[in-house]
Each structure stands twice: as structure tokens, then as C-alpha cells.
């Protein structure tokens, strides 16, 4: 005798007139209980000058680079799905330019980490269900947004002067029609300036721009990344304070 699954048992005990409603409710419960389904993708950019001032690296990159493409739910979804750089060989030159490992420029460790932690979860969607699809889509969205050009167009450029934070936020939100999440480095608790470091812009499951949340569990875990040599130290980015001037540092 076949043993009924929990779903079948609950469904069979619904009255026939209510079965459609039961099916909808039970289906919704199954979706809600899945730990790896996502509804939003966070395309995260970081400013190399700020990152390297904190992590003691030496970058001459003068444009916003990719930090990652992060689903809003699920991490390390498939530990057996190993990163293989040969699958993205045609993307490597572009990734070195726009998605570099600022700490180890000749290493693929950063991309490996991003694939294991975030790519294997993004792959729950058929449109991202391979390493090539995941990395190429991140690059496609990065170029589509063209954050560097947008900020420059509205005279938000690296400078020794300070910017009011609301001005930076308004430029991005008004241009894209969606709320970004902007993060800064804070030199000290009582500092009179904050340093522009990271900008997140979000997409829904159809890759349409949508509002970002102020905080997600993904970012709480993303403060550091791993390599074979151990754990990198915390980056220290926090949501920018609306009332503190912003320093957007130029190349040294």
C-alpha cells in the first residue's frame, strides 16, 4: 500500500467543493516553505578606491565594478555544483575588467565564491541555470544600468569635494525609477563625512527594475568572502546616513 505524502493527505481531506481553494492554499504553503526560492536579484556595484582604502589593495580601476548578483533568498544552494572557469572562458576578459577580484587580480577565487554562494541559488530560475547564464546575465545587467555614465551625466563624479547624500540617491532613483540601496564606509563613529562605497540596484524575476530593501539577509552574510587561504575581513559598508556629507574619492 502506498503511503500518502503530507500534501496528498491534506488535499484528500478537503471537501470536494473546496478542493480548488485547498490546492491553492497548500501550493502557496509549499512555495513559502522552500528555503531557496527568490523573488528579487540584487546587482551590487562597488567603488574600487573605497574598497581598497579599507582592504589595503592597490587598484587603478576608475569605474564602478561588480561585486555580485545576489538572489534575495538562499545561499550555498548546491555545494556539489563546482565552479569551472572553462564554462565562462569567453567572458573572462570582460570579467577581469568589470568584475575583478580587487584583492587578487590574477585569481578566480572571487568568482568561484560568488558562484557557490549566490549563483547556485540564482540557478533555481531556468534563465540562470548554468554558470555561463549567471555570469553573462550579471554582466548584461551591469552594462544595461551603466552606473558610471549615469552618475557622470548628473555631475556626480569622484572629487575632493563632498556631496549631500540625498542628491546622490535622488539621481539614481529618478533615473532608474527604482529605489537603490547605497552604502558608505564610515571612518569612525563620529566622523563628519562618509565615503561612498557600494550601490545596489534591484530587479524582479523578469529582470525589471524594482525597489531595493534597506537590508536583506544576503547582505548580512556578504560582509566577507572566502578563498582557499581563509576568510577575508569585513568590508565595513553600511547604509549611508542621509544627513552626513559623502566623499566620492578619486584615484590617488
Give the residue numbers marked as catalytic.
67, 114, 118
**Residue 159 CA, distance from chain mean position:** 26
DSSP run (H or E) holding 173: helix 165-176
CB 134 within 8 A of CB 71: no
**Residue 240 CA, distance from chain mean position:** 17
User: What are the CA-CA distances from residue 40 to residues 69, 74, 119 (Å)?
Assistant: 10, 11, 13
**Strands (DSSP E) found in the chain:** 40-46, 65-71, 162-163, 181-185, 194-204, 209-210, 226-227, 230-231, 237-239, 246-247
Measured from the Cβ of residue 221, the count of other Cβ atoms closer than 10 Å reads: 13
Give counts: helices (H), strands (E), the chain: 10, 10
Distance of alpha carbon 120 from alpha carbon 151, whole angstroms: 32
Grid cell in block for residue 17: 467543493
DSSP run (H or E) holding 135: helix 131-145
- Cell 530587479 sits on residue: 203
DSSP annotation of 76 reads S
Amino acid at each position: 500500500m502506498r503511503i500518502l505524502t503530507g500534501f496528498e493527505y491534506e488535499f484528500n481531506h478537503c471537501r470536494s467543493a473546496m478542493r480548488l481553494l485547498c490546492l491553492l492554499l497548500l501550493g502557496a504553503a509549499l512555495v513559502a516553505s522552500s528555503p531557496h526560492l527568490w523573488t528579487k536579484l540584487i546587482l551590487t556595484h562597488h567603488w574600487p578606491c573605497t574598497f581598497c582604502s579599507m582592504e589595503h589593495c592597490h587598484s587603478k580601476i576608475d569605474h564602478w565594478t561588480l561585486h555580485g548578483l545576489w538572489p534575495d533568498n538562499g545561499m550555498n544552494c548546491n555545494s556539489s555544483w563546482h565552479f569551472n572557469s572553462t564554462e565562462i572562458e569567453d567572458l573572462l576578459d570582460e570579467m577581469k575588467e568589470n568584475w575583478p577580484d580587487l584583492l587578487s587580480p590574477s585569481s578566480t577565487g572571487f568568482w568561484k565564491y560568488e558562484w557557490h554562494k549566490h549563483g547556485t541559488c540564482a540557478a533555481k530560475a531556468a534563465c540562470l541555470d548554468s554558470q555561463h547564464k549567471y555570469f553573462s546575465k550579471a554582466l548584461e545587467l551591469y552594462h544595461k544600468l551603466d552606473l558610471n555614465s549615469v552618475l557622470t551625466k548628473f555631475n556626480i563624479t569622484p572629487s575632493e569635494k563632498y556631496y549631500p547624500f540625498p542628491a546622490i540617491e535622488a539621481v539614481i532613483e529618478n533615473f532608474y525609477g527604482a529605489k537603490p540601496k547605497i552604502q558608505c564606509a564610515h571612518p569612525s563613529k563620529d566622523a563628519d563625512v562618509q565615503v561612498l562605497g557600494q550601490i545596489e540596484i534591484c530587479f524582479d524575476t523578469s529582470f525589471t527594475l524594482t525597489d531595493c530593501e534597506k537590508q536583506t539577509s544576503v547582505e548580512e552574510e556578504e560582509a566577507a568572502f572566502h578563498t582557499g587561504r581563509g576568510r577575508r575581513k569585513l568590508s565595513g559598508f553600511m547604509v549611508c546616513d542621509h544627513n552626513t556629507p559623502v566623499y566620492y574619492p578619486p584615484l590617488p
